[in-house]
Amino acid sequence: MKFGIVVNEGPYTHQASDSAYNFVKAALATGHEVSRVFFYHDGVNVGTRLSIPPQDDRQIQEQWSALAKEHELDLVICIAAAQRRGLLDRNEADRQGKDANNIAEGFRISGLGQLIEMGIQADRTITFGD
Amino acid sequence: MSKVKKFLYVNRKAPYGTIYAQEALEVVLIGAAFDQDVSLAFLDDGVFQLTKGQDTKEAGLKNFSPTFRALGDYEVTKLYVEQESLDERGLTLDDLQDIQYEDEDDDYAEKPSIIVVSRAGMADVMADQDVVLSF
């Protein structure tokens, strides 16, 4: 089955991104396909490479980046939600005249259309939120 | 072009206090460009999103409630509101905005977009969907 995944809550405050991560890992391990993971609302904060969680805690962003690399996952951060919350890639930082970017490896910033397209193309769309 | 899917956007949160309602509406507006079969559901505190007379000036927040009346222009014409959620909050249909759309199959007659359904009816609406996005 082809899954589309939505993550609507930020890391650490909520368990949503952990649950989504575990679901994606389990789905891939059992031969399913994950066409895209779309990060919305505070979920976009999963994609910052500047978070420094305590060493004895899970490294949520690094987990996602590693999983994306291993399985060529498409991790999409919503641009509208990202701009509100200060998540930028190099292009966006340049375009908006900002002096830094913070997007982590394996993530890309794109529009809400990617969420709808995922819903159209996936067999099942699953939301992880509050 | 793949087949048209039935999308349901489920609104469960009050319009202000958190950003869920506002960002859900942004998804609906973008999604309208994809020519899918779109419905909205309002339940729990989500029914407050449709109340009339919202005034956010003192709170310093953007009042996005007028956008619901424009949804008909985006061919978003099915707004399911759960009766029990209204009842539990002391609301009736009269407390909600009068949201209409022009039915192009009926000489552009103006028709109400809000459809009040029971909790059991809402479950049927959800079961009938291809994609349910919950906010």
A70 in the Ramachandran plot: left (φ > 0), alpha (ψ -120 to 50) or beta?
alpha
Q: Does A63 touch chain B (CB under 8 A)?
A: no
Contact residues, chain B to chain A, C-beta under 8 Å: 2, 5, 7, 19-20, 23, 26-27, 30-31, 33-34, 36, 130-135
The CATH architecture one would assign to domain B6-134 is 3-Layer(aba) Sandwich (3.40)
Q: How much is the average pLDDT of B9-18? A: 97
The secondary element (H helix, E strand) that includes residue A14 is none
Report how far residue B53's alpha carbon sits from residue B46's, in angstroms, rounded to the nearest whole number.
16
Which residues are CB-neighbours of A29 under 8 A, at least 6 positions away? Answer: none
State mean pLDDT over B88-113.
96
Q: What is the pLDDT of residues A20-79, one digit of tens each?
A: 999 999 999 999 999 999 999 999 999 999 999 999 999 999 999 999 999 999 999 999
Print the domain residue range for A35. 2-128
- Domain CATH for A36: 3.40.1260.10
Known catalytic residue at A128: no
Count structural domains, chain A: 1
Residue A91, phi-psi category: left (phi > 0), alpha (psi -120 to 50), beta (remainder): alpha
Ordered by start, the domain boundaries in chain B are 6-134
When pLDDT is averaged across residues B121-132 and rounded to a whole number, the result is: 98
- Convert the pLDDT of each residue in B105-121 to its tens digit: 999 999 999 999 999 99
Taking residues B5-19, what's their average pLDDT? Answer: 97
Task: Supply the pLDDT for residue B3.
Answer: 81
Q: What is the pLDDT of residue A45?
A: 98
- Eight-state DSSP code of residue B95: G
Point out the residue among A40, A111, A116 whose CB comes nearest to the CB of B23. Answer: A40
